[in-house]
Structures are given as C-alpha cells and as structure tokens.
Structure 1
Amino acid sequence: MKSEFVHLHNHSDYSLLDGAQTVQTLVNTIDDLGMDSVALTEHGNMFSVIPYYKSAQKAGVKPIIGCEVYVAVGSRFEKKPRSDGGWGNNHLVLLAQNYTGYQNLMKLVTHGYLEGFYYRPRIDMELLKKHSEGIICLSGCLKGEIPEKMLKDDWDGAKKAALNFAEIFENRFYLEVQNHGIPDEIQNIQNMKKLSTELNLPMVCTNDAHYAKHEHWEAHDVHICLGTGKDRDDPKRLRYATPEFYFKTQDQMFDMFKDVPGAIENTRRIADSIEFEIPMGDYHLPNFPIPKGAENSNPDEYLKSLCVEGVKNRYGDYSPQLESRLNHELNVIKKMGFAGYFLITADFVKYAKDNLIPVGPGRGSAAGSLVSYSLGITTIDPIRHKLLFERFLNPDRISMPDIDIDFCIERRGEVIDYIKSQYGENSVTQIITFGKMKARQVVRDVGRVLGYSFGEIDKLAKMIPTTLNITLDEALKQSPELLTASKGEYKELLDYSKVLEGMNRHASIHAAGVVIAPGELTDYVPLYKSSQGDITSQYDMKGLEDLGLLKLDFLGLRNLTVIDNAIKLIEEGGKKIDIENIPLDDQDVYSLFTKGLTIGVFQFESSGMREFLKKLKPTAIEDLIAMNALYRPGPMNNIDDFIKRKHGKKRIQYLHPSMENILQETYGIIVYQEQVMQIANEIAGFSLAEADIMRRAMGKKIKKLMDELKIKFIEGAKKKNNIEPEIGKQIYELIEKFAEYGFNKSHS
C-alpha cells in the first residue's frame, strides 16, 4: 500500500561525518514505518547511490536518487572570502525524475568537485540551466537561497530567485518547508505560504533526516564533533539546534504540516512522478583499437591470432593438447564477450614491458589461463602447474574477469598515463574507497570527542579483541572486562560507539583500482576530487562492478622495484639475468630456504614462515607454492602434517586411487581450490564449471546448494568410477572440510 507521505530530503553516513545512519539502517527504518519510497540526498555527493539503490530495491522500497547540492553565490569559479562572511553558497535539493535527470545529476556533482570546490563542492546557476532536464528541484532548508533572503527581509530577492528556479525547472520546482522546532523555520513556513500564494508555486514538506531514530540524536551530535574536530564540551562548536532530525512517522509529519496546503500530498505526487532504473547486469567495455594493418578487425579473431602466435613462442610448438585448451578458453571468452578485456590488458602489460617497467608474473586466478600466458599477461605456465581456467572464468557463471597486475611501485603511474592516452583522459580514472569506523577506531573517536584522556581511551580500546572485523557486540561477548566497562563509567561512550560503528569515516583512493569507460565517465559515474587534488570515481569498486564497467587492479609492488634494482646491479658486474626464465630446480636456492634465509623474499620473510621452512626443507617449487597457500589462518593447522608426510614420517593414504594423481604434489592433503575442482571432475564426473560452483558453495557455506551437490557427487562417483555411496560420501566430506580453507593455487 502506498503511503501518503514520502521523506524526500535525507542523509546517510555517505554525507561523511554528518549523516549518522547507514544506508541499510535508512532503508530498514522506512520499511518499519510502512512507507514505500524514500529519497537519499547526500551533501554535495552521490557516494551512496549504488548501495542505496540495491538495498532499497531488495527491500521493496522505491529508491529516489537525489543530492543536496551547494549553489555558489555568483560563479562557481569565484573562490574568495565574501565580504558578508559565510560560505558563499546556498543549499538546494535536486531529485532525479528519470534516467536523463540521473545523468544530469552525475554531471552536476562532478562539476561541483572538479570546478567549483571552495570549502564545499559548489555548482552555479549556469550549470543548473544546462543540466536541469529530468530533475525535480526543492528550494532547500534554511540555508536555501529563498528562505535566507526572506529571513533577511529581502522579499524581492526571494521572489526573483523563486521565479528563476521555477523557470529552470518548469513544473518541477517546489517550495520546501521544514519544522524541527527552530523559530526561523516557523517563520519560514509563513513566508513560504505567502510566496506560494503570490507566485502560484507548490509547497512540499521534508524533515532533513540525518539519523534514524529520535534517541540517536546524541550519537549524531558526537558524529558532528568528529567531522569538525571538536570536543563535545566546546561551546563554540557546530551543533544542530534540536534533536528532531530523524525519520518521523506519517502522522507526525501530518500534524506538523496540516495547515500547509499540499505540503504532504506533494511528497506523494513527486514520488509518483519519478520513474527510472539504473541499468545493471550489462557490461560496458571500451573498444580496443585494433591496429590498422592487422589481418583481423574482429576482436575475437584478432585475439585468437595473438594467442596462437603466443603459444608457439612460449612452447616452441602448437600440439593438439595446447590447441584444444586454447580453443576451449577462447570459446568461453567469445561466448562471454570479453575479447576486448584481454586485448586491453595485454596491450598495457606489453607497453610496460616494452618500456622496461617491471611487471609481476601474475596474481590471482588469471594465472590459470593459457590465453593470459600466451599474451604475456602472466608468466606462469598453467599446463605445467596444472592450473584450471574455470577457476578464473566459469562459463556457467558469467562475471567480468578479474586480472590483478603488479607493477614496479615507482613507475605504476606511467602505465595509468598510457591507458589515459589510449582511451581518453575523460574515460579513465582511479577509484574511491571509504574508510569505516571499526570497533577500536570508533571507541577511540567517540572517547576523544567526549573528553577522555588518551590513556583511558587506549586502555578501553585494547579491551576489544584483535579478531579481524570484530564488532562491538561480539567484543562485549568475548571480553568480560569490556562488558563491565560498558555497564559502568564508559556506558555512554560505548552506547554512542555502537550507533556509529561501521559508518563511513572518510573517502580515499583505492590502492590499485582504475576504471575505464567506453566514453565519457560522467555518462556512467560521477567524479570526486580529493583535498590533495586526486580525481576518482564517486562509486566504489563494488558499485562499478554492479554497473558493468571495466575495472582493473594496478598494484604497486615494491618487491618488483627491488628485484629490478638487483638485476641492474648484477648486470653492472657483467652478468645478464632473464628474470622470467630462471631455473626452478637450483638446489642452492632451496638450501637458502631450508636455512630460513628469506628476509626480503616476498611472502617468505615472516619469522613464523622462516621457522616452518627450516622444518620443511623444501626441494622443489611445488613445496614453496604449497607453503605459501598453507601459511594463513585455518590451513596453518595442516603444516606440521604436510611436513611429516613430505619426510615420510606419516603415511599418505587416498580414499580412492584416482585422487593420488591430484594430491600427490601436496602429499595427500587438499591444499588448493583447484584440487577440490579436480576431485569433483575426476571422481564424480562434474564439469570443471560445475566443480567451481561446488567449490564456491563450500567456501561460502551455502547449505542448500551443498546438500544438492552432495547427492549429485555421490551419484556421480558411483556412475563414473563405481565408487560405493559410503566412500563417495567420505570423499565429499573430506573435500568439504578442506574447501573452506582451500587456497587459489594460481595465486599461490
């Protein structure tokens, strides 16, 4: 059932250090209030759009996408202090009515950061006129131009501004009123009623909700102090005038605005006039510029020609086995429509190598691809190491490939510049990420605002266990000391901390992420400019994935720089080394590992790892690959067993002879996700694509799917290998036990 009132002016924690509610809390609150729609209008940004849109749709709440923008007094390019004081801007609420309006909103907020930033991301009247199509406009809070002028007795100025907005947003402009018990707001309601009558402009009421419930006002007040760097006791600090900026019920809003003609009804009218969807599920890959002299202008055919040539160069021949594997991979890539992705990736890796920029051998599941190896994207032989393409790209589960590339940390920027030159400066940017207030952080932040000494806060924060991603609720269960503190002197601190925990604290640049659009970025995403001048997307990595944009991980790795410098020093001594073709059977190297002399060796330099290496006494590259996979929480428990089996101190047994070929290199222990897939394939006749789905179900503990696959596995084992159901069940349960901790061999 449709609600008669819709909240059209609200903020989440993406209005950084001001909004004190997560997107999920906001949507849940609206659902609890029995309302069917809600707008989210962050301060000057669109950071929250994708998580909000998805969360609202999932809850059956109609999402209204908007922004409370800052409009410069004068031009957005004027950046100097005003003689009358103040920020030199006014607030205005904009709501996207359709997809064109959504695109215009993205362009407006981008201009605010890239051109108009002066204390706040500001737009101006020129931009509003240019990008007004498809946008509904509300006049804003007391900081809006019209209320501000009327409260200063500039009635003519207010009328002129109202008529100006009404002309720009024809039949889509509303005079906004609020009532949080602030005297100026009460006066503004009367002023707006008069102006509405004189100019025949409709009115609408909002509540500018910054937190979900009335009782959260104090936590929000602490949040404001965090944002402004003030103590709560500071008499000169910014504070909200009343504790009324929360999601009020329909009845509460009706009681406050029943004497304002159309104010309630127009919220519904506006919500009903909004209709559009953000397209998700399609991929938007840039077109790879195939060289003019190439024999094939079709991306799939051009990719195949490069791969065939690459395989011949890598292996010295083109055997039926290699041809079959390559054709299988290329068919999957063609079916998924990802030829362009591989061509783009191969191109910038080639650029880096041609310009002597050190590039890593491969990271993640991409090393399982013969296509990647043949193109020079990776330098790890997937055939020799028995790596699986389906672990990288599953034909039964279409998703964008994810190839992470390591570059020398000092020259990573050159590769990004090359991509900008290839696809256009306006089509490539880095990606935003948001730092969140985790358990210890939020306690420290809130404690500081409440005036506790550093020593007190530090002591309290250290009562929280160091478990990864622990919440305060979990910490209170695990730490009796913290529980006692939460009931005594620190009750207020921990109560506020629990409200604010998990909220966004700041925006920064993702360490590796770069996004490439097939045209202007601002047709797909709004852009942000940090205080350091770095430009990023306003949507984070997950949001860009949801939109189907091409995102790449360019990791700056200092070890590559160190290796490169070492090679140059060796060359100065008259010896040349090809780092991509060093022997993997040099026993002098393994003796260094056996002695634990691995400080400075990537992944092998921690004290714990060095101790295990001394016990393991590795003799082959496979031993090092396995140790890399085992040395992490969970599988670490199997290291001693692994070492005993290697040295013949513990018998190796297999539940079925077919498992020996798969598990031989890890002495009968399931170490890799690829082994889980191979067992499902060899024992139960699963396709490798099905085996990958089983692996994911086990890793994520999707019980319903696991139960279905268990039956299929036992039946398949009987059908393919005549394995008795009881043994089939034992094999399934064995791989289920290890799959939870299994590591990606390609990455290891």
Structure 2
Amino acid sequence: MSYSNLLNIKSCFNFLKSTIKPQDYIVFLNKNKLNVGFYSDLNTMYGAAEFENLAKKNNIKPIIGVSFKLTYGDIVLYAINNKGYKVISYLSSFISNMDRIDSELFEKELYKQSFENIIAIFCPSVENLINFKDKLNNCFKNLYYGITKQNYKYLKENKIIYANQISYLYEDDFFEYKVINAISEAKLVNEVNDLEKDFYLSNEDLKNYIDIDTHNKNMNEIISIVEDDVINDFKTHFLTYPNALNMPSKNYLEKICNDKLDDLKLNTQEYKERLSLELDVIFKMGFEDYFLIVSDMINKAKELNILVGPGRGSAAGSLVSYLLGITKLDPIKWGLLFERFLNIDRVTLPDIDIDFQDDRREEILEYLFSKYGKNHFATITTFQTIGIKNALRDCGRVFEIDIDDVNHMSKQINDRNILDFDKALSDSKILQKYQNKYPQVFEAAKKIVGLPRQTGTHAAGVVFCDENLWDIVPTKVGISGILQTQYSMNYLENIGLIKTDILGLRNLSIIQEVLKLVYQSKKVRIDLDRIELNDKNTFELLRSGDTTGIFQLESNGMTDVLMQMKVNSVEEIAITSSLFRPGPKENIPLYIKRKNSKTKNYIIDSNLEDILDSTYGIIVYQEQVMEILKRVANFSLGKADIVRRAMGKKDAKLMDQFKNEFIQNAIKNNYTDIKANELWHYIERFAEYGFNKSHAIAYSLIGYWMAYLKTNYKAEFYCALLNGVLGNESKTSKYLSELKKNGYNINGPSIKNPNSIYYFSNNFVNMPLNIIKGIGPEFLNTIKKIYINNKKAFDNLFTIIAELLKNGLTEPRYLALVYTGAFDCYGYSRKVLIDNKNTILNLTDFIDITNENEFEIDLPEEKDSPESLALYEKEYLGFYISSHPLTLIREKLVNKEKLFYISNLKKENIVCEVFVTIDNIVTKTDKNGGQMCFVDVSDETGEIIVTVFASVYEKIKEQIKLDQKLIIRIKSQVFNNKVGALLLDVVKVIK
C-alpha cells in the first residue's frame, strides 16, 4: 500500500489548533489514494466516532487513537481492537474530567493500564532516552518511536516511524492555521511567529527525516494488526432497572402494565391484545428496562410535584407508555399507532422524549445522577462552531481592523444569509466594499467558518449506560459534576446508547404557576387529568380568537385558522396545528370548505371512510397513511411505517419497490389497476406532509389545558404569563391591556406589597415591586425584611420612609417609588410627594427622636394629571398602568369608532386607519437610491412595524418624528407569521 505520514494528525476538534475537519481529511485521503486514515487528537476524542463513520463509508480503514503530552515527550496510543479502545477512552475521560491537567497524576494513571491491545508511538522531546526507555518497553508491548522534525537527529532506535504532528493538510493552509492560533491566543496575526510548519509531507520531503522503507515497514505492521472497527462492541447498553420486587425486568414490566389495566378497568380483549403485541415487540428488541427507567423518572417528577407533559412524539402511540404513566393519552381511545413509535421492521432505537416544567428540569437530572451513579448517566456534548458574524469579528480583531468597520460588516449578516458566506457577499454591496478594503480578513474568515470553537451541552439529551460510560464513549466533566459524552448525539445510537430527551417546556411552568395561583386565590386544586375535555366555554374562547399566551395557538396566522375552522374538540386543535405548517397549509382552505359543507362526497374510496372522515378526506396524519396502506394492500403496520418514511424522504428506489407491491396487493383485494394507482398517488401526494398524530394530540392537549385555565381562571392565567415575562415591557403591556379589556382591576406596585410576582387577590391583580426600574433586587429584599420584621412601619408614609432611609433608600429610588405609585396607598398625590421631596426625606432624625409611628405633617392637597401619571409610568416601568396617553386623546377624536386597534390586525390586506404614536424610526436607502424608512408604532393594544416606501416617505417625512401622535392609513401585511403594515398615507397629525 502507499506510504503515509499522517500518523499523528490533529483535527479541528483540538479547538482553534488545527484546520482539519474530518470530512476534509477523508477527501484528502481519497485524493491521495490512501485507504487508511489515522486519527489521534490531543487528550480528547470528540471527533473519533465521526471520523470512523466517514472513513467506513468511503472504504477507508480508520485507526482510532488519542495523544497525550508526558513530561518527557508526546505519546500517541492507537486501539488495536475494542479492548484497546476502552483503554484509550478511559484515559481520555480521566484527563478530560480534571479541573486542570495534572501531568504527574495522569502519568501515574497511565502506567496502571494494560496496554496489550494498544499500539504506542512515543515521540521523545529530550535527547536522553535512558531514564524512561526501560519503563516504556516494559509497559508497551507494541511500542514505536516517533521521528519528528525536532528529534530526528538524535533518535536512532530500530522501531522508528515518522510521527510529526500535523495540524493542517496542505502547505497553503498555513495562513488559516496562523489565524486560528492568533484567535485562540488572543494575539494579532503578526504576533504569532513561533508556529512550526506541520503539514503532510511528500515522499521527497520525508526522506530528509527518516528512511522511507523503515517507515513504510512499521506503518504496515501497525495497519495489519488493527481491527477494522474498534469503537463499537455491537451491544445495546441499557441499564437494568432495579425494581422493588427483584423480578426480571420483563416480568416486572408485564406485571405493572396488567395491574394498571385492572386499575383503569381497561382489561377488555382489545386492550389485552394491544398490550400483548406491544410487550412482544419491546421484549424482542430488549427495551423493557428503558421503559421502566423512563417511567421511574416520571413517577419521581410527580412525587416532587414537577409538572410533566402529556406526551411528546410518537411514544404517545404506545399503550405501555400510557399504562406506565409516561404519556397521558390512551392510544386506543385516540386512534394512535404503536408501530409509528416502535416496530421490528425499523431497527432504530426508541427515543422517548419527555417535557417537564422548565424551571425544575435540573431536579430531574440530579435525581438520575443520584440514582444511577456518576459513571452510568451523562448529558451529551454539542459543538459550537464559528459562524459568519463571529468569523468576521475574530478576523477583524486579529488583523487589527477598526472596530466600527467590524461592527458595520457583521451587521450585514442576517437571517437570510447567516449560513452562506457567498450569499452574504452577493446580498451586500457594503460587504463587497469591505472585501476589497480588507481582502485578508475575508479570505481568513471564509476559511474558518464552520470550525468548532468549543463544546456546549445538548439542550435536552441524556444517556444511560449499563457499563462504566468511558468503556463505551469517552467522557468529559459537565455541569454540576454530571459526566458528558465526548461524542455528539449523532454517533451514540450506533454504539448502543439510547438518547432520551429530557426537555424543559416553559408552558408547563406557566400551567403549574396558574394551578398554584388558583389554589392561593380560590383554595381550588385542579387536576389536569380530570378536567373536562369538552368544556364549551373553552372552545368559544378559541373560536373567538382570544389565544394570547396559549401554547402553539397564539400566532396571528394560527388564531385566524382556529377561528375559520370553528374548532370544537382537542382533535380539531391537533388538526389545525398539523395543517398549519409549510406544505400542508395549502390544504387549509379545502379542509375548511369541506368542514363547513354538508356534502360528503370527498372520500376517495368508501372503504377508507372511517380513516379519513375526521379530516374530511384529507390525509393530515402519518398514521392515516399507514392505516390506508394496511387496509388497501394488507401491509403490516410496521411495514406501512417503512413505506411512509420512504415517501416522506422521497426515496425513489424504495418507493418504486413498494408501489409495485401495493398495486399487486390492492388488485388482490378487488381494486382495479386504475383505482390502485389512483390510491397510491393519493397517498404519495399527502405522505410527504403528513404529521405525527401522536405528537399532535399530545401537544394539543397542552394547548387545551392552557385555554381551559385561561377561560375559567383568567386572572390567575394572566398573572402566570406576566411572571414569565418580567422585564419584557412590550409583553407586560399587552397582557395588562388584555386584563383591563376583560374587566379586571389592577393594583399598581405598592410599598405595602413587597412581592416579586404578580398575584390575584380580592378581585385585584397585584403588580410586584420589582418591575420598577432602579429598585434592584437587593433593595427589594431589604423592603421584604422590613415588612416581615417591622410591619407596623408600613402604617404611615413617614415612618416607612424613615425606616427605608436607614436601609438604602436614595433620592433616585424615592423618585422611582413615587412616580410608579408605590406610595399612593397613603393618600397623597404623586405631585405632592415630588414637590415636598426634600421636606419628607429630611424628617428621618426627627421621627427617630419622637419614635411616633403615627407621625404626620401637613402636605397640600393636589391632584395628579392623567398625562403626567402616564409619562412617568412609561419612564419608570416601560409601560402604562393608570391610562394610556392615546386613550385620553382618542376620547376627543371625531369618528373614533372607525379607527382600528393594532391588536385587531390579524391577517393580510386589511386597509384601515389607526391612531398611533411613533416609538422608533429607521431610515435606509433603497436599491434605487431613494430614502425609505421603517417606523415602530404603537397604540393601547400593541405595536407593529410600518414600512414607508421612498415615494410616500418623500411626501410625509416632516410628519414622521419620534413620539409624534398621528392617524395613519395602512395596509396590513404578514411575514413569517408576524403582522406588519405598509403606510399608505398620513391622515392627521395630532398635536
């Protein structure tokens, strides 16, 4: 075979120290007709599984290793087989779990290992080999000495091999290599002068360092003894669930499922047969422990009063999942298919995803860590790569480009071109000018885009393992001491590890808070599993379009469809959300037309009526595809799922194969050839867009829960929403406005209510003190302590101010409290408290001397003007409480009833007049050189962005000023489900 000097290659997963991506390395090997690839990053193995996977796909033999720096040189360890892989995986894990690398401690651990299944390449960095040579020879059975550009003159051993480190493949890549080192070391490019030129050498160059025949001989020795697949031990690594009865897991799972059938009074023939079918598949695939572990996790969450979602993904189609409490949907009642989740024909591992309330997700991880032990439970690594914006910023810094230019360049990158450097350049003349000005910056930036920069943590994924994790996957230290896999999620299933997604869902936290607030205000405990799923008022709320804050249903487009569809059941909510996606959206008008029509001649075949009737002859769900394939062509549901997947992926080869079988079987079932073909094309047309019914129903149940709570406990619902958006002035204003429209009274922040959350009490929604700008958490905690320890101080304005002055009340904080109405409870107007500020703040000493809690002084009586109240509330809160300035003016306008509110602009092409104030103006030059602008406008109910084209802007630009109040004529537009508007004219400027 051809020689190679790629023995000590470092990939880009040695972050910012190599330019070599695994895919580029494979291309290089193919180009040079090398059918073996070595892989050995320093300390870590992040990219090892990816490289092995790519190599095998390209008929290249992967040789997997890892390298370490020792006190007397570098050592590269390659696994001969899976036993050897376990050793290097352990060593990589050991060093990667150190807070800081301790070389002495690592070397002690290194020499404890058995290296019978390891090839070692030692590259000494010192001339004197005597001190460690015997130790190495005694330790390593397969030991070679690595020649490098530094040691080749004095290394004269027999078993030598060229092993100089390679961090980039082509000589021309040195520039990119230098740039990433500058970025890594926070230096300028011209300050990086000590880099060795380490790239792949030609045969002629290699002769300068080593005898080629010796090198090739030793390379062939290594290659011949390494097995083709070292990472995979071809086992599935489930934990065994430690059940309380010490029964085999199969028996235990079967017992608790049957017991639950009895408890639920579902022990009919239909349920027993379904359970038997599911258990048979689960046992054959060896997944019983997986179900038990997930069930245990959910039971623990319920014990801790952590809200768990009703189900997610295809697992909701499993009766076993339902009986174990993993999901809340009876799949037989809802018509859900187990085979969509798990079947023998599809040899992928099951992936049960679970939603928990997001503010308590970490407690679940801590429980699993505690129960199964550090070595058997891990989170999953992700890799954060360099994007276009950061590439420009990094390269701008190392080339010492003016920061204003760097900022200007990065602002040209937007959602439309953020993944494509060439598109970003073609889209922006500004970038093109900068490219001409700074060619090196752009050359370097383009090359480093996509290189991994650092690790992150997968937002949800975890794995369990029956063996010590590092025997299966190298690990690193993660958050809170929990181990983390070094491989990303794409390479875990192949080595027998199941990924489980433990997700945090914000909406579940909101629901849980509503339940808590309802109990506090009404002493009512709501059991979500027992609420009526056909609450008439709940569906009236959805049909009215009052969807703010409701999971998956609050976008303008979705709200509009809900109203048109006149939803009347959880299933219809599911259908709506399943259709409201790119592709299926095209069927919405047809669905609505058929739903509102009395005719029923839309079913393509009468034999399919029970499958298609609920969706009016339109295939909405993947499960419908599967059922039709079974009904018409006798496909098993497992096989039908394979066909469904092939259609979804447009796998032409598989589809042709299945089509022939479908038509032949359909003909056997008394269909004509023409009808069979018609049905196949009908299925094919919808299958690509079909949605998972199990997931749709489960998530629609969350939407229904929220709609039910909003309908029946509106104030508590909005309080939970408001607590979730503390600091978001726009959403806070929107929710408060909706509360007022629904007739609820709102108490502004009050010094007598030193809370950090909104709550409902005595028919009032009470606002917390921490929404006031300038108060800060420390001062709020001080107020809380005073309230707890000296509540009597709050009986009198002057005693509480005296107490606060001793505990951090400053003049700016006093102003903030006054202007937001926190002292309104004492009966003085805000104007009086501001006008007499100095008198009030200077009373402290006197109050201390008299020690009279009922101390009073005479202050004049003056009323606050609504305009001044609104002005200061906006300044200190970011929104209005008492009244909106536009409301005060609106009342005086002629024909005010003809004006639209922004909140009513829910679809496209509404031409109307709105009364608004201008909050922000952004001008830009259009492609024809004219000046246009985007104007942020708002009214009492919301805000939108109004586009003003150059032809209109030229006429009215004198009227477009910040804080200007005006009536404008607009045409609504919808882009990415967000409503905006086009300015047609300025009708009137309001002085």
Residues 219 and 338 (structure 1 numbering): CA distance in 2 closer, same or farther, change over 3 Å? same
SS at match of 1:539: coil
Match of 1:265 in 2: 217
Residues 453 and 168 (structure 1 numbering): CA distance in 2 closer, same or farther, change over 3 Å? same
Match of 1:285 in 2: 238
Residues 491 and 696 (structure 1 numbering): CA distance in 2 closer, same or farther, change over 3 Å? farther
Match of 1:221, as an amino acid? Answer: K
SS at match of 1:514: strand
Match of 1:51 in 2: 50
* Post-superposition CA distance 1:388-411 (Å, at most 9, x none): 111000221222211001122233
Match of 1:303 in 2: 253
* Post-superposition CA distance 1:251-294 (Å, at most 9, x none): 245433355883443233223232363335431211122323x7
Match of 2:230, as an amino acid? Answer: E
Matches within 5 A, 1:633-648: 633-648=582-597
* Post-superposition CA distance 1:329-362 (Å, at most 9, x none): 1111122121111122112211221232211111
Match of 1:593 in 2: 542
Match of 2:611 in 1: 662
Question: 1:328 and 1:534 mapped to 2: Cα distance?
Answer: 37
Match of 2:199 in 1: 246
Match of 2:68, as an amino acid? Answer: V
Greater displacement, 39-48 / 108-117? 108-117
Q: Which of 123, 130, 139 lines up with 1:159 in the alignment? A: 130
SS at match of 2:486: strand
Match of 1:220 in 2: 177
Match of 1:139 in 2: 122
* Post-superposition CA distance 1:358-395 (Å, at most 9, x none): 11111110000011111111001211221111100022
Residues 115 and 31 (structure 1 numbering): CA distance in 2 closer, same or farther, change over 3 Å? same
Kept in 2: contact 1:70–1:123 (CA 8 A): no
Kept in 2: contact 1:178–1:205 (CA 8 A): yes
Match of 1:401 in 2: 350
Greater displacement, 93-102 / 19-28? 93-102
Question: 1:269 and 1:562 mapped to 2: Cα distance?
Answer: 63
Larger relative contact order, structure 1 or 2 (CA cutoff 8 Å, min sep 6): 1
Question: 1:24 and 1:302 mapped to 2: Cα distance?
Answer: 46
TM-fit CA distance, 1:651: 7.8
Kept in 1: contact 2:238–2:466 (CA 8 A): yes
Match of 1:25 in 2: 24
* Post-superposition CA distance 1:682-704 (Å, at most 9, x none): 22221111110011111111110
Q: Which of 190, 203, 220 lines up with 2:153 in the alignment? A: 190
TM-fit CA distance, 1:567: 1.0
Match of 2:572 in 1: 623
Match of 1:182 in 2: none
SS at match of 1:191: coil
Question: 1:650 and 1:231 mapped to 2: Cα distance?
Answer: 74
Question: 2:416 and 2:608 mapped to 1: Cα distance?
Answer: 36
Kept in 1: contact 2:152–2:209 (CA 8 A): no
Following TM superposition, where does structure 1 have runs of at least 4 consecutive aligned residues deviating by more than 6 angstroms? 649-652
Match of 2:61, as an amino acid? Answer: K
Question: 1:719 and 1:679 mapped to 2: Cα distance?
Answer: 15
Q: Which of 146, 156, 160 lines up with 1:176 in the alignment? A: 146
| Residue 723 (structure 1) aligned with residue 671 (structure 2) | yes
Question: 1:337 and 1:383 mapped to 2: Cα distance?
Answer: 24
Match of 2:144, as an amino acid? Answer: Y
Q: Identity percentage over the alignment?
A: 34
User: Normalising by the residue count of structure 1, what TM-score does the alignment of the two structures yield?
Assistant: 0.86
TM-fit CA distance, 1:45: 0.0
Kept in 1: contact 2:377–2:483 (CA 8 A): no
Kept in 2: contact 1:216–1:499 (CA 8 A): no
Residues 337 and 445 (structure 1 numbering): CA distance in 2 closer, same or farther, change over 3 Å? same
User: Normalising by the residue count of structure 2, what TM-score does the alignment of the two structures yield?
Assistant: 0.66
Question: 1:545 and 1:692 mapped to 2: Cα distance?
Answer: 20
Q: Which runs of no fewer than 5 residues in structure 2 stay unpaired?
A: 697-991
Match of 2:106 in 1: 124
Residues 428 and 611 (structure 1 numbering): CA distance in 2 closer, same or farther, change over 3 Å? same
Match of 2:517 in 1: 569
Match of 2:94, as an amino acid? Answer: H
Question: 1:505 and 1:481 mapped to 2: Cα distance?
Answer: 29
Match of 1:518, as an amino acid? Answer: D
Matches within 5 A, 1:514-533: 514-529=462-477
SS at match of 1:139: strand
Match of 2:242, as an amino acid? Answer: P
TM-fit CA distance, 1:461: 5.4
Question: 1:44 and 1:736 mapped to 2: Cα distance?
Answer: 50
* Post-superposition CA distance 1:569-612 (Å, at most 9, x none): 22231222111222111121122222332232222233432333
Match of 1:85 in 2: none
* Post-superposition CA distance 1:205-256 (Å, at most 9, x none): 12422223222222222222333344434x2x476233xx33334x245433
Greater displacement, 489-498 / 31-40? 489-498
Kept in 1: contact 2:146–2:164 (CA 8 A): no
Question: 1:165 and 1:475 mapped to 2: Cα distance?
Answer: 54
Question: 2:656 and 2:424 mapped to 1: Cα distance?
Answer: 33
Residues 124 and 334 (structure 1 numbering): CA distance in 2 closer, same or farther, change over 3 Å? closer
Matches within 5 A, 1:393-472: 393-438=342-387, 441-452=390-401, 456=405, 466=415, 470-472=419-421
Residues 260 and 27 (structure 1 numbering): CA distance in 2 closer, same or farther, change over 3 Å? closer
TM-fit CA distance, 1:69: 1.4
Question: 2:77 and 2:397 mapped to 1: Cα distance?
Answer: 36
SS at match of 2:519: helix
Residues 318 and 695 (structure 1 numbering): CA distance in 2 closer, same or farther, change over 3 Å? same
Question: 2:430 and 2:636 mapped to 1: Cα distance?
Answer: 51
Match of 2:82 in 1: 99
Kept in 1: contact 2:381–2:455 (CA 8 A): yes
* Post-superposition CA distance 1:647-686 (Å, at most 9, x none): 3399862221233322222222222111111221122221
Residues 252 and 528 (structure 1 numbering): CA distance in 2 closer, same or farther, change over 3 Å? farther
Match of 1:270, as an amino acid? Answer: I
| Residue 547 (structure 1) aligned with residue 475 (structure 2) | no
Question: 1:253 and 1:543 mapped to 2: Cα distance?
Answer: 37
| Residue 711 (structure 1) aligned with residue 630 (structure 2) | no
Match of 1:64 in 2: 63
Bigger-Rg structure (1/2) = 2
Match of 2:15 in 1: 16
Match of 2:98 in 1: 115
Residues 589 and 417 (structure 1 numbering): CA distance in 2 closer, same or farther, change over 3 Å? same
Question: 1:502 and 1:387 mapped to 2: Cα distance?
Answer: 41
Kept in 2: contact 1:368–1:392 (CA 8 A): yes
Q: Which runs of no fewer than 5 residues in structure 1 stay unpaired?
A: 74-88, 141-145, 180-184
SS at match of 2:33: coil
Kept in 1: contact 2:80–2:230 (CA 8 A): no
* Post-superposition CA distance 1:624-661 (Å, at most 9, x none): 11122223333233333333333339986222123332
Kept in 1: contact 2:152–2:210 (CA 8 A): no
SS at match of 1:309: helix
Kept in 1: contact 2:603–2:613 (CA 8 A): no
SS at match of 2:462: strand
Residues 410 and 644 (structure 1 numbering): CA distance in 2 closer, same or farther, change over 3 Å? same
Residues 56 and 591 (structure 1 numbering): CA distance in 2 closer, same or farther, change over 3 Å? same
Q: How many pairs are equivalent?
A: 693
Residues 487 and 730 (structure 1 numbering): CA distance in 2 closer, same or farther, change over 3 Å? farther
Residues 226 and 679 (structure 1 numbering): CA distance in 2 closer, same or farther, change over 3 Å? farther
Question: 1:252 and 1:635 mapped to 2: Cα distance?
Answer: 62
Residues 465 and 412 (structure 1 numbering): CA distance in 2 closer, same or farther, change over 3 Å? closer
Match of 1:222, as an amino acid? Answer: V
Question: 1:469 and 1:650 mapped to 2: Cα distance?
Answer: 49
